[in-house]
Structure 1
């Protein structure tokens, strides 16, 4: 698991809801930060996105709760690539959020693509980026599409 961890951190007071546990939108925030960290680690920084005038977008985000996460807990977010389309760069990721005791607290699944930030339309990515995306840790259920 440790090689696929792209975010580690403490749950802050500002991330807690009225029920005194992690609010629903904070899960998405942790996963978005983990994806950014992962891409940056692999060599695709936000600066490179800006130079290409491309940004990632999500079509679907599914959150499955397993265990409560509370104030001051430390969490880890693992990311696995579940699907990659080599013809149009659409992608799917599975994020697993772990509690300090290594219990699975949540699973977040997302599907997305790339947006041309000028035209505001879906776009392909530079060819070299495909090699970077192929380095992302893969789920056992990983599917690569080439059509």
Structure 2
């Protein structure tokens, strides 16, 4: 398991809603950006995924809003593995978005898998991707994903 992978962003004008705080969908956008940066930082750029003919997809995304984020605030995003199947085909990640003072502003929990971009079907990723997913820090709620045979 590797050290924490964190990224810091600044809340932009485009992230705002008419109530003067960050719009609900921007939280998910920052979580997605964090996942893509994690993969790219370890050699799995969007170009590499295109060459491999596969990519990550989501089945579910659940955001819990805890504290408001405002324009020009700095937010820190982390991602922890909350579940992984033995073959690496399914994965769950819990992102936490933190306010500048360290308080959690939101959590974004995602359940995902890997898609064969040509066949448009789920697949087991190459071993390097499974190994990379295993390197994410584990959330305290981590549980192996066990799939029942059909």
Poorly superposed stretches of 4+, deviation over 3 Å: none
Aligned partner of 1:67 in structure 2 is 67
* In structure 1, C-alpha distance between the alignment counterparts of 2:114 and 2:105, rounded to whole Å: 29
Q: CA deviation at 1:129?
A: 1.9
CA contact (8 A) 1:43 1:132 kept: no
Contact 2:22 2:69 in 1 (8 A): yes
Give distance in 1, aligned partners of 2:131 and 2:143.
Answer: 16
Q: Which runs of 5+ in 1 are unaligned?
A: none
Q: Tell me what 2:45 maps to.
A: 45
List alignment gaps of at least 5 residues for structure 2: none
Q: Following superposition of structure 1 onto structure 2, how do residues 23-38 of structure 1 map, counting pairs within 5 Å?
A: 23-38=23-38
Q: Which range is displaced more, 121-130 or 58-67?
A: 121-130
Aligned counterpart, 2:78: 78
> Does residue 132 of the first structure (1) align with residue 132 of the second (2)?
yes
Q: Which has a greater percent of strand?
A: 1
| Aligned match of 1:22 | 22
Deviation at 1:5, TM superposition (A): 4.2
Cα RMSD, aligned residues only? 1.5
- Maintained 8 Å contact 2:82/2:142: yes
